[in-house]
């Protein structure tokens, strides 16, 4: 679905990403893992077209560079590490922003859109009329997730979408995503390898701006994955307990 080939990004003379290549398949969740500063956020931003980059990004065969800002937003839903919302808006106002790529410059969200936004918020356990700024950081993340879900984009690029969520909501977030995958692909930056192992179909391990390994938790052996993780996190062990792989350090 999303095909990335030889993607390189530099900040001035400093190269952050070097020839990164991978694909995201339809109906799958891919986790992007790596140590701090290895280029995960840079990769997400480059995929969104927020940073100038070399190499190709093709979505269903279409070169993403040829899309306008609006067309890109229709295809790619993005959750930043932290939203910049500083106005006194309700959760509903925030989620309605998600329909923006489908609206004309002077158009307003329709009643059906509002109903969908309210329903999505309710599914995530949030009140539509709650003031966004009074929500906890975790609830804010869920609200931004609701905004991204209503965008109905083909690819969701999520930069640490669960960093402020409790254990239940962390796993709940991926259940919500799975329930809405259908024709979509999800790439999520995660810091918790255990969460990635349990929720993602594929893991991309980034190290020093290059792809260190691509893992498939359902098919790869624990030994293969352990070796790859050791290259990122130092000495770690993977144990298989029933059907679940558990990482210990």
Partner 1 sequence: MKLKSSIYITAMALAVMAVVSLFVGKYPLTLPGLLAGHEMQLKVFFRLRLSRTVLGVLGGVCLGVAGFVYQTVFRNPLASPDIIGVASGASAGAAAGILFLSGAAAVTAASFAGALLAVILALSLAALDKTGKSGTIVLSGIAVHALAQTLLMGLKLTADPEKELASIEYWIMGSLNGVAVERIFPNALLCLVCLAVLFLLHRQIVLLSVGEEEAQMLGVSVTALRLAVLLTATLMVAAVVSLTGLISFVGLLAPHGARLLTKRDHRGTMALSGLLGGVLLCFADILARSVAATELPVSIFTSLIGAPFLVWLIVRRETRA
Per CB under 8 A, residues contacting partner 1 are: 45, 48, 50, 68-70, 72-74, 76-78, 80, 83-90, 93, 97-98, 100-101, 103, 105-106, 108, 131
Q: Output the smallest distance, CB 52 to partner 1, in A.
A: 10
Q: Which two tokens stand for residue 4?
A: 């990335």
Q: How far is CA 225 from CA 145, 190, 212, in A?
A: 30, 16, 11
Rank residues 21 and 100 by Cβ distance to partner 1 and give the closer one.
Answer: 100
What the block records as the tokens of 220 is 């790869």
Q: Where are the alpha helices (DSSP H) in 130-248?
A: 137-150, 167-179, 193-199, 222-233
Least separation in angstroms between CB 78 and partner 1 = 4
Q: Which is nearer to partner 1, 39 or 217 (CB)?
A: 39
Q: Shortest approach of partner 1 to residue 105 CB, angstroms? A: 7
In the complex, the smallest distance separating the C-beta of residue 38 from partner 1, rounded to whole angstroms, is: 20
Q: Which two tokens stand for residue 203?
A: 């893991």
Shortest reach from residue 50's CB to partner 1, in Å: 5
Query: In the complex with partner 1, which residue's Cβ is closer, 36 or 86?
Result: 86
Residue 212 DSSP SS3: strand
Closer residue to partner 1 (CB): 46 or 124: 46
Buried b (16+ CB within 10 A) or exposed e, 199-235: bbbbbbbbbebbbbbebebeebebeebbebbeebeee
15 vs 19: CA distance, rounded Å: 10
By beta-carbon proximity to partner 1, the closer residue of 46 and 196 is 46
């Amino acid at each position: 679905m999303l095909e990335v080939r030889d993607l390189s990004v530099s900040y001035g003379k400093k190269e952050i990403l070097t020839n990164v290549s991978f694909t995201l398949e339809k109906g799958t969740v891919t986790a992007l893992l790596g140590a701090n500063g290895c280029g995960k956020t840079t990769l997400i931003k480059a995929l969104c077209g927020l940073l100038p980059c070399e190499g190709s990004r093709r979505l269903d065969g279409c070169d993403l560079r040829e899309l306008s800002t609006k067309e890109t937003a229709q295809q790619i839903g993005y959750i930043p590490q932290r939203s910049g919302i500083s106005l006194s808006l309700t959760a509903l106002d925030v989620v309605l922003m998600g329909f923006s790529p489908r609206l004309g410059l002077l158009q307003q969200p329709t009643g059906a859109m509002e109903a969908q936004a309210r329903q999505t918020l309710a599914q995530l356990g949030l009140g539509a009329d709650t003031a966004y700024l009074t929500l906890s950081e975790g609830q804010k993340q869920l609200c931004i997730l609701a905004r991204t879900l209503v965008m109905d984009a083909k690819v969701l690029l999520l930069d640490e979408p669960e960093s402020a969520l409790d254990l239940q909501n962390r796993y709940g977030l991926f259940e919500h995503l799975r329930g809405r995958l259908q024709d979509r692909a999800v790439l999520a930056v995660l810091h918790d390898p255990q969460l990635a192992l349990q929720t993602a179909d594929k893991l991309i391990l980034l190290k020093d701006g290059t792809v260190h390994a691509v893992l498939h938790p359902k098919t790869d052996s624990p030994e293969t994955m352990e070796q790859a993780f050791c290259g990122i996190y130092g000495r770690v062990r993977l144990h298989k307990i029933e059907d679940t792989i558990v990482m210990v350090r």
